[in-house]
A and B are shown apart, each in its own frame.
Chain A
Amino acid sequence: MAGKTLFDKIWDSHVVRSEPDGTTLLYIDRQLVHEVTSPQAFEGLKLAGRRPRRPAATLAVPDHNVPTTDRRLGIADQVSALQIQTLEDNCKDFGITLFNMSDIRQGIVHVIGPEQGFTLPGTTIVCGDSHTSTHGAFGALAFGIGTSEVEHVLATQCLVQNRPKTMELRVEGMLSDRCSAKDIILAIIGKIGTAGGTGYVIEYTGSAIEVLSMEGRMTLCNMSIEGGARAGMVAPDDKTIAYIKGRPLAPKGELFAQATQAWRQLKTDPDAKYDATVTLQAEQIAPQVSWGTSPGMVLGVDQNVPDPRTMSDEKMRNATERALAYMGLSPNMPITDITIDKVFIGSCTNSRIEDLRLAAGFAKGKRVAKTVHAMVVPGSGLVKQQAEAEGLDRVFREAGFEWREAGCSMCLAMNADVLKPGERCASTSNRNFEGRQGAGGRTHLVSPAMAVAAAVEGHFVDIRHWS
C-alpha cells in the first residue's frame, strides 16, 4: 500500500462515515468564531431549538469590527456595536468561551488561536473566515467555511466534505537577505494563479520552508486561500512543539508528552504521492509587490508594471487593463516609481510579534515620509503587550508610525480604518481586491520590511539594497 501524505493522515483519522460517492462526514476538533460570520448561525440554532454539541471545542473573539483606537470610548458605529454585542450575547446563551474587547487576550482570530495553544497539530480546525488556512502552519487541516457550516459544526461537531486533492509546494534553497515568508507566498500565488490551488490542500515542503519560524509558516499558510486552496499545511517539527509547549490551552504534563508522540508521526511518508507538485527555488524570489487587484497580480520589486498590449490571452489582457485603470498605474513603469499615501502593518498575515520585531528593526532611527500616513496594528492584545515590553512601540512612534489596538483593522476596513478613494497603500495584509481597504482605495501587498521601507521613502524600494 502506498504511503500517506500529511493531509491523508489527518483526513483519514477524522472520518466519521462516508457516503457511497465518497462524500465524507468529517469530525471537526475545533472551531473559532468571530462576530461577522456567526450571528446567522446562532440564530439558526435558536430557530431550530438546537444546542452546540461541544461548546468547549469552540473559542470566540470579536476582531473584524473592533476599533483600534482607545477601547474605553466604545464603538461609535452602532451597527458594528450591535454585531459585537450579539456575539457576546450568543456566547453567553450557548456557553461558549469569549475573549471580549477589553480582554488582553482579544485579537485577530487567526493570531489568538495559535497564541493560546488552541491550534494543535493533527486537528481539524474551522472558522467562518477564509484565512483559517493560517492554522495549517501547525500541521492541522484548517479551512474557512460559510455561516451555514458554522451552524452545522456548532450543532454536530461535523462537516460534510468531499476529499480534496493534494498539492506539494516545494521551496528549496535559501531566501535572499531580507526576503521573508510573505515574499515566498506572494511569489507562489504569482506562479500558480489565484485559482491554481482550487480543489487542493497544499503541503509546503522543502528546505526554505523548514527554516521558517512558526510565524513565517503562519504567514505562508494564511495566504493559501489566495492561491485558491482552502487549506495549506506544514508538517510539525521541533519548532512547532516548542511553540505550543506551555500555552494556556495546550495539553499539559502527561497529556503533552502523549500528544507530542502522536505529533511526531504527522509527516508525509517517503513513498506517498501528491496529486500535483510545484517547485520554486528560494534564491529566485525577489521582494514581492502586488500591482493589480488580485493577489496573483504580483511581481518582484525590481520589475516593471506589465503591459496588457503584449498579452495574447484575452482573459489576462482584459483583467490587466481593468486592474491598471483601477490602480491608476501605467504599463511598463518601474514598481519602485510607485508612490504611496498610506502604510498598514498588521492583519492575520503579518501582525505577530516576529513581524513587529522585524518591522521595528527597519524603522529604528528612520522617519516616515511627510507624504505618508503609517500605522501598526498588532494582531492581539498579548502581541501588543509583548511589543511594548520590548520597546517596539517606542521605535514605531519615534519613526512616525501610529501604534494601535489589536484587530483586523485596515485589512478589510470594516471598522473606522479605511482608505479614501484613490489613496494608495503599502499593506502587509492579504487581499488587494478593488475596494478591499475602502471604496476606490488602492492596495499593494508587501512584506513588513518592504512596508517600512516604503513608509520611509514614500515609494517602493528594493529592501535588499536599502540602507
Chain B
Amino acid sequence: MEPFTTLTGLVAPLDRVNVDTDQVIPKQFLKTIKRTGLREGLFFDWRKRKDGSPDPLFFLNQPRYQGATILLTRDNFGCGSSREHAPWALLDQGFQCLIAPSFADIFYNNCFQNGILPVVLRTEEVLQLMKDVIDNEGYRLTVDLYQQTVTTPKGTTYRFEIDPFRKDCLYRGLDAISLTLQHEPAIAAYESRGKAETPWLFSDIHP
C-alpha cells in the first residue's frame, strides 16, 4: 500500500447525501475477479443521460474537475453494500482523499485498506468548502495527515480527527496482514485457550 503523507490536489464536488455504494459502482462491475480497471464503473448511472450520452452536468464529465484527487461530498457517504469495489473504483479514478461530514462504517474502513484517506469535517465546514469549490475553478486543498489538517488556498485550516493506529498504518503504508502476523503467538495463545473453554468452536467443520 502506498503511504499517505500530504496531498495537494484539485477538488471535485458531489453535493449529495447518503451516496450508497450501489451508486459509486453498480452491480454489473462486481463480476470482475480483479481489483483494477474499475474506473469505467464509477458513478456509472449518474454519468449518463437517459439516452446513454454523457451528462455534461455531472461533475466527472466536466473538464474543470479532470485530474481531481480529492472528492468533497455530503453525509453518510458509502452507505449500503460492503463492496470494496467502491474504494477501488474511486482510487482508479485518481481520488486519494475523500472529505465529508460522515461516512458509513464499512466503507470508511475499506478506504484505509486501500491507502485512501477519508476526512471527516464538520457540516458547516463542508458546506463552505462545497461553495468555494463550485465558485472557484481550479480550487485545490492541501491535506496533511501528520498534522491532521485540511488547508484552503486562502490559508484557512480545518482540523480533523483520526484513530492513532489507523493514522500510523496509512502514514507508513503498512501491510495490515503482516502487522497482525507479528502477533502470531498471541493468536495461538488465544486459540489454545479457546479450545479448552469453548471446544465446540474449534471442532472442524466437516459437512
Interface residues of A (CB under 8 A from B): 16-17, 19-21, 23, 25, 27, 29, 36-37, 39-40, 43, 48, 50, 53, 56-57, 59, 64-65, 77, 79-80, 82-83, 86, 97, 99, 105, 116, 118, 120, 122-123, 128-130, 143-149, 151-152, 155-158, 160, 162, 164, 194-195, 198-199, 225-226, 228, 230, 248-249, 251, 255-256, 258-259, 262, 294, 315, 318-319, 322, 412-414, 431, 433-436, 439
Contacts and interface: CB of A to CB of B under 8 A. Distances in A.
Interface stretch (B20-28, B61-69, B90-98, B133-141): B20-28
A155 B104 contact: no
B183 to A, nearest CB: 6
B180 A433 contact: no
B154 interface: no
Interface in B68-86: 74-76, 79-84
Nearest to B22: A433
Which of B27, B28, B75, B164 gathers the greatest number of chain A CB atoms within 10 Å?
B27
Contacts of B206: 56, 97
A160 B109 CA distance: 10
Given A40-B35, A146-B110, A152-B180, A16 B186 contact: yes
B55 interface: no
A83 B74 CA distance: 34
B23 A434 contact: yes
24 contacts: A16-B183, A21-B164, A23-B165, A27-B190, A120-B200, A120-B201, A145-B82, A145-B109, A146-B82, A147-B35, A152-B177, A155-B177, A157-B191, A158-B180, A160-B176, A194-B76, A198-B105, A225-B80, A230-B105, A249-B207, A412-B27, A414-B28, A431-B22, A433-B80
Contacts of A164: 105
B163 A433 contact: no
Contacts of A433: 20, 22-23, 80
B203 interface: yes
Nearest to B165: A23
Contact of A130 (B106, B164, B198): B106
Given A120-B201, A148-B114, A414-B30, 12 more contacts: A16-B183, A19-B164, A19-B165, A59-B205, A130-B81, A144-B82, A146-B87, A156-B181, A198-B105, A228-B79, A413-B27, A435-B26
A70 B48 CA distance: 35
A162 B105 CA distance: 11
| Pairs A-B, 8 closest by C-beta atoms | A148-B113, A251-B200, A39-B33, A146-B84, A56-B204, A146-B110, A23-B165, A144-B82
A23 B81 CA distance: 24
B177 A151 contact: yes
A147 B31 CA distance: 14
Interface in B1-42: 16-18, 20, 22-23, 26-28, 30-35
Contact of B183 (A25, A48, A225): A25
Given A43-B33, A82-B33, A258-B200, A228 B106 contact: no
A194 B74 CA distance: 14
Contact of A155 (B74, B79, B181, B205): B181
Given A160-B180, A294-B18, A29 B79 contact: no
A262 B198 contact: yes
Contact of B82 (A37, A40, A157, A436): A37
B144 interface: no
B34 A40 contact: yes
B187 interface: yes
B22 A434 contact: yes
Contacts of A318: 17
A86 B87 CA distance: 22
Nearest to B194: A27
Interface bin, chain B: 35 or more
B199 interface: yes
A118 B205 contact: yes
Contacts of A40: 33-35, 84
Nearest to A84: B31
B186 A17 contact: yes
A39 B30 CA distance: 11
A64 B82 CA distance: 14
A61 B191 CA distance: 26
A282 to B, nearest CB: 27
Given A21-B163, A116-B207, A249-B207, A198 B104 contact: yes
B79 A157 contact: no
A59 B204 CA distance: 11
Contacts of A157: 187, 191
B74 A315 contact: yes
B205 A56 contact: yes
A193 to B, nearest CB: 8
A139 B101 CA distance: 32
A37 B82 CA distance: 9
Nearest to A126: B82
